[in-house]
Chains A and B, each alone.
Chain A
Amino acid sequence: MFPVTTFLISVGAVSAITVFLAILMVVADATIANYGEVTITINDDKKLNVRGGKPLLGTLMGEGIFIPSACGGRGSCGLCKVQVLEGAGQYLPTELPWISEEERAQNVRLSCQLKCKNDLSIKIPEELFNVKQYVTRVASIRDLTHDIKEVTLELADPPEMEFKAGQFVQIMTPEYELTDEPVYRAYSVATAPKDTKKISLEIRLVPNGICTTYVHNYLREGDEVIMNGPYGEFFLRNSPRDIICIAGGSGNAPIMSILLDMAEKKISRKTRYFFGARSVRDLFLVEELRALEKELPDFQYIPALSAPLPEDSWQGETGLITDIVAKHLPGGENVEAYLCGSPGMIDACVKVLTEKGVPEELIFYDKFA
C-alpha cells in the first residue's frame, strides 16, 4: 500500500519550510537590502540618481558610463579603479590586494567591489566619457591558427568609433551554457583606427574560458555583439626613438593596429617586431607583416619559435623570445618598447629590456589578466 498521508506530510513539510524561508528572503531583500535611491556625483559636476545596493561598476554601466574592467566584476583583474571622494566607507579585504599605499591615500577603490549604499562623490578621467556602448554585427570569422580566430565586427549603432591604435574594447558574452549572466571581456583592436566602421579582434581559445568558448563555438557570422570601448593607455607615443614591439599569441592584435597606423601616417621610425610562438602552426598574418616590411621604411618582423617541429623546416630564429630580443638589441638607450602577451612573457621581457638600458617608463605593456 502506498502511504499517501506520509507522502503528503513530507512534501508539505519540506515545501512549507522552503516557502517560509523564501518569503523571508524576499522580504529581507525588499527591506534590509533595499537602499533606496542614491545620488552619485561625478567630477563635482554630473549627478546621477540610481537604485542603491548594487556594485558601483555595474551601476555606472547601467547609466552609460563604462569603467575599464577585464574580468567582468569578479575582483580578479584589479582594473576598475575609481577615485571615490565621499561616501565610500572602509576598504574590503577583496579590494586590498589591488590597491597600493598611494592609491589608498587618494581613496582609490575597486568599483566592482564597492556597493552604492549611500550618496557617493567620485572622480573619473574625462576620456572615459568617450567610452560608449556599441551594437555591432559579426561581418566575418576566420581561423588565424588552430586556436586563434579573427572576428570582424561591423558597427551598427552608433555606426562609428574613434580610437587610438593599440586600445581595447570589451565585448559582451550573453547568458549561455557556461554563464548565467552577461559577462564582459577585453580584447584589443587589431585594425587601424582609420577604419572607424569596422574593427577586427584576435581571440585565442582558452579552455573553459567563458567568452573565448562562446566566440569559438557559438558565435556565427551575422550575429549581434554588444561591445563597449575604447579603453587603455597602450598606444604609440610621439617621439623620435626606435621602437621595439614584442608579442605572443593574440597579443599580436594591438601591435598590428599600431603598425598599420604607422604605415597610414607614414611614420618612419626604426621598428623591430619580435613575435614569440611555439612552432610554425602558431604563426599568423605573416604575409601581411612581410608586406608592412616593404611599406614601412625601416621595419623588420622577427618571429621566434621556441619549439619548431621537424616538419616546419624552420630557417628563422629559434629559442626563447627573451634571448632573441637580447641578441638583436645592442643597446636600449634610444628605444621605447611596446609589449603585449601573457604576464610571464611580459615580466621576463621587461627584465631583459631594462638590463639593456631601455628606460622603464618607456616600456609600455598590455598584460592578459
Chain B
Amino acid sequence: MRKIRVLIAKPGLDGHDRGAKVLARSLMDEGFEVIYTGIHQTAEDIVRTAIEEDVDVIGLSVLSGAHMYHFRRVLELMKENGINDVLLIGGGIVPEEDKENLIKMGVDAIFNPGTSIQEISDFIRKNLRRPL
C-alpha cells in the first residue's frame, strides 16, 4: 500500500506552532508521511508545496483568528491550479459559525482543540480523494 502524504503548514503571521508540531509527529506515528513547512507560510507557499510534494491532504493550523482569509485564499489557489483531488483540513481556534461557513466554502473538515489524533487520521483515511 502506498504512503499517504500530508502537508502541515501554518499560514500567516501566527507563530503558535506547538499544536502543528504535535500533530505532525502524531500523524507520523499513524504511518503518514508528513511534510512540515513551519510557520509564516503564504497561501502561495502552501499550494506550491502541495504541488511539489504531491500530497493527499493539506492541513492548516490557524490560531490567529484569520482563518476565513487564509482558507479562502488557499481554496482559490487550489482551484486556479486545478487541484481537486486533495483534502483541505484545518485546526486551531475556529468559532462554530465560522466552521460552518468554511465547510460551505469547500474546506473538508475543521478540528478544534481536544480532537483526538485517531479522529483526524480516521477522517483522512476515509475521505481520501485518490486511490490508495
- Specify whether A and B are partners: no
